[in-house]
Chains A and B, each alone.
Chain A
Amino acid sequence: GAVVSQHPSRVICKSGTSVKIECRSLDFQATTMFWYRQFPKQSLMLMATSNEGSKATYEQGVEKDKFLINHASLTLSTLTVTSAHPEDSSFYICSAREGGAAKNIQYFGAGTRLSVL
C-alpha cells in the first residue's frame, strides 16, 4: 500500500514557540492531504483539508491563524502550530489521498505527539 511519512513523531516544546510538522507521500502524488487531531481514546477530528497549490480548507472551530497549513508540492504538506500553548498538546495525524476524488483512499502518517510545557 501507499506510504505516508510524518515527522517528527514526538515534540516537546515550551509555551509560545511554534512547531512545524511535515507530512510526505513517499510513493505517490497527493493533491489532497488532511490534518487530524486525536485526543486520548477519542476519534480523529478533521482540522483541515490541504490542497496542493491553494489555500487549505479549515473545519468549523479551527483557527487558521493558529494552525498554518502549506501544501507546496504534490508530496508534501506542513502543519505549523503557532505560539503553542498547553491546550494544543495532542496527537496530530496527517493523511494523504491516493488517486483522484473517485478513488478517495486515505493513507495515514504515524502521527506527531505534541507536548507543550
Chain B
Amino acid sequence: GENVEQHPSTLSVQEGDSAVIKCTYSDSASNYFPWYKQELGKRPQLIIDIRSNVGEKKDQRIAVTLNKTAKHFSLHITETQPEDSAVYFCAASTGGGNKLTFGTGTQLKVEL
C-alpha cells in the first residue's frame, strides 16, 4: 500500500520567515495530495491541495509544489505568523476508494 513520509517532525521559525515541509510518497498511482492544518484538540482543516496534473499551486501565503518523477511534494508558507503554529499533515490518495494516507505530521512553531 501507499506510504507517505513527512519531514521535519518539528519546525521552529521566526515570525516573518518562510517554512517548508516536505513529503514523499511511494505509490506512483497517487493523484491527489492535500495538506491539512490541525490545531491542538481540533479537527484537521484542509488548507491547500494539488492534483497530479499540475506542478504548483498557490493561495496567498501558502503554496504547494509537486514533483511526480521524484514522488515528492512540499508545502511552503511565506511570511509566517503566530497563528500559523499548528501541526501540518500531508496526505496522498491512491484511488481505490480514494482513501487518504497521511504523513506523520509536522509541528510548526512560529516564534515572535
Residue numbers of A with Cβ under 8 A of B are 1, 4, 32, 34, 41-46, 49, 57, 93, 97, 101, 104-111
Contact: B46 with A43, CB < 8 Å?
no
Minimum C-beta distance from A12 to chain B (A)? 16
**Complex contact B98–A97 (CB within 8 A):** yes
For the complex, give the distance between the alpha carbons of A49 and B97 in Å: 8
Question: Contacts A93-B43, A108-B43 hold; do A46 and B34 have CB atoms under 8 A apart?
Answer: no
* B89 contacts chain A at the CB level, 8 A cutoff: yes
Q: Is the interface of A mostly helix, strand, loop or mixed?
A: strand
Query: Which among A49, A57, A93, A106 has the greatest number of chain B C-beta atoms within 10 A?
Result: A106
A89 to chain B, nearest CB (A): 15
Q: Once the chains bind, are B42 and A110 in contact (CB under 8 Å)?
A: yes
Out of A41, A44, A57, name the residue touching B97 (CB < 8 Å): A57
CB-based contact B99/A49 at 8 Å:
yes
Rounded to whole Å, the gap between the CB of A45 and the closest CB of chain B is 8
8 Å CB contact of B98 from A42, A43, A44, A101? A101
CB-defined contacts of B100 to chain A, threshold 8 Å: 34, 46, 106
A42 touches B34 (CB 8 A): no
Would B43 and A110 count as touching, CB distance under 8 A?
yes
Q: A44-B89, A101-B98 are in contact. Are A106 and B103 (CB under 8 A)?
A: no
Q: Could you tell me which residues of chain B, from 22 to 52, have a CB within 8 Å of some CB in chain A?
A: 32, 34, 36, 41-46, 49
Cβ contact within 8 Å between B43 and A105? no
Which single residue of chain B is at the shortest CB-CB distance from A109? B43
Known A105-B49, A106-B34; judge A43-B97 contact (CB<8 A).
no
CA distance A101 to B94 in the complex (A): 11
Residue B104 is within 8 A (CB to CB) of chain A in the complex: yes
B42 touches A93 (CB 8 A): no
Closest to B36 in A: A108
Query: Would you call B34 and A43 a contact (CB within 8 A)?
Result: no
